[in-house]
Structure 1
C-alpha cells in the first residue's frame, strides 16, 4: 500500500464503525428479528470489532425492549445504544434496557421541523438542549442526529448541533436520511460540523452514493460511520458496513475492524433476515472472488493479484473458479486438479470445448457435469460409491415420511426418515442409510422451475462440503423430492470417491 500527499484520508486516522443493522437494518421491508437473532448478530458484530452497536428502538414495544436488554446483558466490549425520538419518555425506555447510550434524533431541515414535527426553529433548539441534558443527567453517552441534515440549511444545522454539544452531547451526526446528496455537499456539511464537535456520518444508498458519501465525510473529519451489514435498511438501504471497512483499509490503510470476520457476519445476517446476498455484491457476493472467463482464470492462476484488488482471505472468503461458456483450458485443468482427475493436454482441450458447448446452451455447468465429461473424454469409468436405487415419500399425514434404498459399495441399504416436508424426510433417510459416511455439510440448496404449469420440471442444485472439498450437482425432475435426493446422493458420491477411503459399515 502506498500513499501520496494527495490522499484525502491519512493512514494514521482513527475511524470507527457504528452498526445499526439491529435498528435501521431491521426497518427494511419484510425484516423482523427475534431476540435470539439479535443476540447472534450482536455477538458476530463483537467478533468483528464493531465499536458501537445500535441494538434497536426501545420505544417500539415490549418485545423490542426485551431484545435490546438481551444484547446489553451480553456485556460486550462494544457500546450498546438505543435510538430515541425527541421525547424524554423514549430516553426513559432506553434506560430500562440498561443501554450505554442513546441516539437522539431531532429534525434539521425545514421540511421536518415545520411539516413533520410542527414546531419552530427556536423551539427545536430549546427542545434539543433539554433532551441532551436529560440524557446526560442519567449518565448516558449521547449522540444527536440532525434528521434530514443533507437537505437542511447548513447555518441552522451548525447552530442546532452546537446547541447539542453545549448541552453536553458527546457527538453529533450528519444524516443523509433519504440518500439525497453527493460527496461534495457531504464534505461541506461535515467540514463545518467538525468545528463544533466529534462528528458521525449516517448515509443511505438511494443514489448509489452511500460509500462515496461516507468516505467524503471521513475525509472532511468524521471519525464514526453508521453502517448496516449487507447494506440493509429502508428503501435502497444504508451504506454497507463491509464496503466502508474494506474501502478504508484497501485504499487508505485505515483499519476499522477485523476484516476476516466480514463474510461470516454477512452470512449470519442474511440467514437471520432472510435477505439473500446478491451474487454481484461487493465483498460478500458469491461472484466477488469467482472467475469464469478464460483470460481472467488463466491470469489469476498465474498471479492471484492479476484480477483481484485484494486477496479473498482478507475478508474471510476463498477464491472460486466457475465453469461455463467462458471457461478456458486453464480453468478446466485447475478444477480437475482440485477433484484429483488426471488428464492429458489434448483431453483437457476437448473437455474445455464440451464445457463451452454446454454453457452455450444456457446451462450452468456444475462440478458433476465437468467430471462426467472428463470421464467420457478420458475413458476412465468411475465406480460409484453411493447410488440411489429407490425412493418413496409421503406428505399427506401429520408427519412427512420417506424411505430410500441405496447401493453403497455393492451393499444394499434401506432406511426411512421423517422431516418437516418430504424433501427433509428423504434427506434424513439418506443420512440414516449412510451413517457416518453422510457427514458432509449441505452448503447451499437452490430450486428453479424450468417449465411452467402444474407439471413443471424443476432443477435442484445442491453444493455439499466434506473434508474441505466441495462439489455442486444439479438434477432436473418433475418430482422435486427425487431431484433433491438424486442431487444430494450424487454430490455425496463424488465427495466420498474423492476421499478414496474404505467404506464404513452402516451405523447401528
Structure 2
C-alpha cells in the first residue's frame, strides 16, 4: 500500500514565539531551526521578516545554514513584507489574508473584493521574485466558503503552490473540520494545509481530521506553543499519524522529538507539563504497584508505545503507591542483591515518606538503599561556609566554600535575588569538580508558620544520568544549596561505587 506523505510546517519560531512572555534571540532561533531540520520537518516558518531588524537577523542566520527544510517567512498582503522576506533569502512565504467578515469589515474596514485583490497582487509579486507561496486564509473557519474558494482559486491560477485553511481561534470541532476539508479537497488541486489552534483543546484532533478528509499538510509547534491556548502540538500529531493512520506517513525522525522539545522548553522558558503527552516527564513514568509490575513484565501493558520511539526513557517513580516489584527491579538494575528482609525495610521507608506527602527523590531512594544495605553514602562534597549579601541598594551576592577530597573551592555568584546568587556560586563550584549541571529548580513544599520548613527539589545531570535531589531547611537559601550538594554527592558516590565494582570484577 502506498502511503500518503503528510508534510509538516513547523511554526514554533513564528506562531510559537507569539506565546506571551516568549522572545527568542537570533542564535536561539538558529539552534532550534537546526534541531528541527534534524527532526526532518518539511518546512520551518522562521519568523516574520517585517517585524524587526533582530527578526531579520535571526531568519538570515537560518537561511545561511542551507538546511534541508524549506525556510519560510510569514507575510501579510503587503509588498513591503515580501521585500523584507526577500532580504532574508527565504525559500518561501506564508502569505496570510483575513477571510472572515469579522476581520475584513470590523478589523480592517475593507471589502472582500479589496482583500482578494491585495492577496492576489501580493502573491503575484512574490512569485515573480522566485518565492514559493503558501496562500493562507486567516479565520477561515468563520469565513464565507464561496469567498474562500474564489480567493484560493484565483491564487492557484496565479501560480501559488499551496493553500491553507486556518482555524485561527479554534472555532470548529473535529467533525466540522472533517466536513470542511472534505469539501475543499474536492475542488482544490494543490496541497491543502491545516493550521489549527487549541482554544478548545482539539487542535491536534482537528489537524488529524483535516488529514483524513484530504489535507496533505499541517502546521504545528513544538510543545504546542502559541498564542492563548497554543497551536496544535507537533509531537502529538506526529506520533498519532505513526501509530493510528497507516495510510499516512511523515518524514519525521520521531526519536528526535524529546530532545527538540527540551531545547524549545529551555529557550522559551515555558516549562513542559510533566503530564504532557509524548514529551512530558511523566509520559513514561510509573509509580503504582500494579502498573510497575505490569510494565516490567510486559511494557505494552501500560505503555502505548516504546519511550525510545520518541527519544524518551521509562522512569519508575518511588512513592506511596510503589510496589515491591519496582524495588526488586531497580536493585537488580543496580546489580545489588538484597535479602527479603532488606527489601521489606526499603519498601517500608519509601511508604513512610510517601505517606507524608513527600516526593521520594532519586537521592533519597539511593540513600535508603545505601543505609539498609550498609553502603553508607560518603559526603564527598562538603559545604564549609555560605555567605549571602542582599538588600535594596545591593546586588545580591553569595560566596561558598566547599571541600572536595583534599581541595578547597571558593566561588562567588550574583543573581536577581539571594537564592539565585547562591545557586550561581554553587554551580561554579560544581563546574570545577565535575560536569554535573542543574536542569531544573523548584520549591516543592512549604509548611505554614513564620518558621516554615522549605523543601527545594532540583534536577541534576552528569550527562549519563538525571536525578532529583531535595534540600530541606527553614532558610530557602540553605535548602537550595543543600539540594544541589545532596544531588552532586549522590552522582559522585554512585560513580565511585560503579568504578570500584568494575575494578573488583576485573581483579
Deviations 1:367-399 (A, max 9, x none): 232233334544x15151515252222335768
Q: How many Å apart are 1:458 and its aligned residue?
A: 2.5
Structure 2's unaligned 5+ residue stretches are: 415-420, 501-507
Counterpart Cα distance in 1 of 2:101 and 2:80: 25
Contact 1:108 1:160 in 2 (8 A): no
Go from structure 1 to structure 2 and tell me whether the alpha carbon gap of 1:454 and 1:85 turns closer, same or farther (over 3 Å shift). Answer: farther
Counterpart Cα distance in 2 of 1:209 and 1:377: 49
Q: Is the deviation greater in 261-270 or in 108-117?
A: 108-117
Q: How many Å apart are 1:39 and its aligned residue?
A: 0.6
From 296, 301, 305, the counterpart of 2:291: 296
Go from structure 1 to structure 2 and tell me whether the alpha carbon gap of 1:264 and 1:381 turns closer, same or farther (over 3 Å shift). Answer: closer
Which TM-score applies when normalising by structure 2? Answer: 0.90
Counterpart Cα distance in 1 of 2:19 and 2:169: 14
Go from structure 1 to structure 2 and tell me whether the alpha carbon gap of 1:25 and 1:454 turns closer, same or farther (over 3 Å shift). Answer: farther
Q: How many Å apart are 1:407 and its aligned residue?
A: 6.1
Matched with 1:403 is: 400
Counterpart Cα distance in 2 of 1:301 and 1:307: 10
Q: How many Å apart are 1:269 and its aligned residue?
A: 0.6
From 333, 339, 342, the counterpart of 1:344: 339
Q: Secondary structure at the match of 1:287?
A: coil
Matched with 1:392 is: 386
Matched with 2:505 is: none
Contact 2:287 2:319 in 1 (8 A): yes
Alignment partner of 1:150 is 2:141: yes
Contact 1:279 1:286 in 2 (8 A): yes
Contact 1:405 1:414 in 2 (8 A): yes
Q: How many Å apart are 1:75 and its aligned residue?
A: 1.4
Counterpart Cα distance in 1 of 2:327 and 2:446: 27
Matched with 1:488 is: 484
Matched with 1:189 is: 180
Matched with 2:460 is: 464
Q: How many Å apart are 1:308 and its aligned residue?
A: 0.6
Counterpart Cα distance in 2 of 1:401 and 1:110: 59
The equivalences for 1:98-109 within 5 A come to 98-109=89-100
Q: How many Å apart are 1:111 and its aligned residue?
A: 1.3
Counterpart Cα distance in 2 of 1:373 and 1:403: 28
**Root mean square deviation of aligned Cα:** 2.3
Q: Secondary structure at the match of 1:150?
A: helix
Counterpart Cα distance in 1 of 2:450 and 2:80: 55
Matched with 1:58 is: 49
Go from structure 1 to structure 2 and tell me whether the alpha carbon gap of 1:471 and 1:128 turns closer, same or farther (over 3 Å shift). Answer: closer
Go from structure 1 to structure 2 and tell me whether the alpha carbon gap of 1:369 and 1:11 turns closer, same or farther (over 3 Å shift). Answer: farther
Q: Secondary structure at the match of 2:299?
A: coil
Structure 1's unaligned 5+ residue stretches are: 1-9, 503-508
From 29, 32, 42, the counterpart of 2:20: 29
Go from structure 1 to structure 2 and tell me whether the alpha carbon gap of 1:128 and 1:368 turns closer, same or farther (over 3 Å shift). Answer: closer
Matched with 2:361 is: 366
Q: Is the deviation greater in 449-458 or in 220-229?
A: 449-458
Contact 2:469 2:484 in 1 (8 A): yes
Alignment partner of 1:327 is 2:322: yes
Matched with 2:38 is: 47
From 408, 411, 418, the counterpart of 1:414: 408
Contact 1:229 1:241 in 2 (8 A): yes
Counterpart Cα distance in 2 of 1:405 and 1:59: 51
Alignment partner of 1:241 is 2:237: no
Counterpart Cα distance in 2 of 1:43 and 1:294: 41
Q: Secondary structure at the match of 2:5?
A: coil
Q: How many Å apart are 1:484 and its aligned residue?
A: 3.0
Which TM-score applies when normalising by structure 1? Answer: 0.90
Contact 2:422 2:481 in 1 (8 A): no
Q: Is the deviation greater in 487-496 or in 72-81?
A: 487-496
Matched with 1:218 is: 211
- In the comparison of the two structures, how many residue pairs are matched? 486
Go from structure 1 to structure 2 and tell me whether the alpha carbon gap of 1:439 and 1:249 turns closer, same or farther (over 3 Å shift). Answer: same
Contact 1:174 1:189 in 2 (8 A): no
Q: Secondary structure at the match of 2:198?
A: coil
Q: Secondary structure at the match of 1:57?
A: coil
From 376, 379, 382, the counterpart of 2:376: 382
